[in-house]
Amino acid sequence: MVTKSDFGKISGNQKLKDQFPNLFNIVRRKHAIVAEVLSSNPLNVSFRRALVGDKLTEWYCLVASLVHINLNEGMDCFMWNLHKSGAFTVNSMYRHLVNNGFKAMQEIWHMKIPLKIKIFMWYLKRGVILTKDSLATRNWNGNKACYFCSKPETIQHLFVECHYAKFLWRAIHFVFGIPPPLNIEHLFNTWSKQGGQKHNILLLTGATAICWSI
């Protein structure tokens, strides 16, 4: 049962706006609640454009997914999707975080390095370092070429593929026998996890020194 929840959240684990983005983009009231939408037949929804072709097909699918919805006068309740009981548990939250890369984040914070460098590596892990390609998406009009070469500067290029980065990783390979990382995900999830916890922290610290120097 549902009562007055946000209309975009009532179909399974995925919001309706994510299941039907084309419809959501042209609907007039994007923040309508369930009670308002299901209060009449046909549904109390209007669009800024006529529904034809694929959009009409999506609309039929959306209506079919709402046939089983029944309203009552009770209070809304929250369901914790990470546990079959629907109730929050610390263990389910922890397992979800670990499965989504949180463990690598923990290792970053455990390194004995300045906080600003930890934050830098955290950004790098998340892929939000402001390289020139990222700046360009924010209306920056500067030269998009890598500072060390003429190729477009991306996170993958700057920290892995640029000849300067390759030189540093090959030096590590020559001295310690550790092959260079293939990409940033490989760096955090595989390259820096080749031994026990203390050994992995040392590997990640070394990788941090290289990335920070770049």
Stated as kind and residue range, the H or E segment containing 174 is helix 163-176
Q: Model's pTM, two decimal places?
A: 0.54
DSSP 189: I
Query: Could you please report the per-residue DSSP string of 3-56?
Result: SS-BGGG-STTS-HHHH-HHHHHHBS-TT-BHHHHTTSSS-S--BSS---THHH
Looking at the DSSP bridge assignments, the partners of residue 213 are none
Measure the CA–CA gap between 122 and 117, rounded to whole angstroms: 8
pLDDT digits over 36-78, tens only? 777 777 778 888 888 888 888 888 888 887 777 777 777 777 7
pLDDT digits over 123-133, tens only? 898 888 889 99
pLDDT value of position 14? 67
pLDDT band at 1 (very low <50, low <70, confident <90, very high): very low
Please give the C-alpha separations between residue 103 and each of 36, 116, 200, 201, in angstroms, as whole numbers. Answer: 43, 20, 12, 12
Residues 167-171: contacts with CB under 8 Å, at least 24 apart? 168/210, 168/213, 168/214, 169/210
Measure the CA–CA gap between 4 and 72, rounded to whole angstroms: 9
pLDDT digits over 189-207, tens only? 889 888 888 888 889 999 9
DSSP 71: B
Measure the CA–CA gap between 185 and 183, rounded to whole angstroms: 6
Within 8 A by CB and 6+ apart from 17, the residues are 8, 24, 30
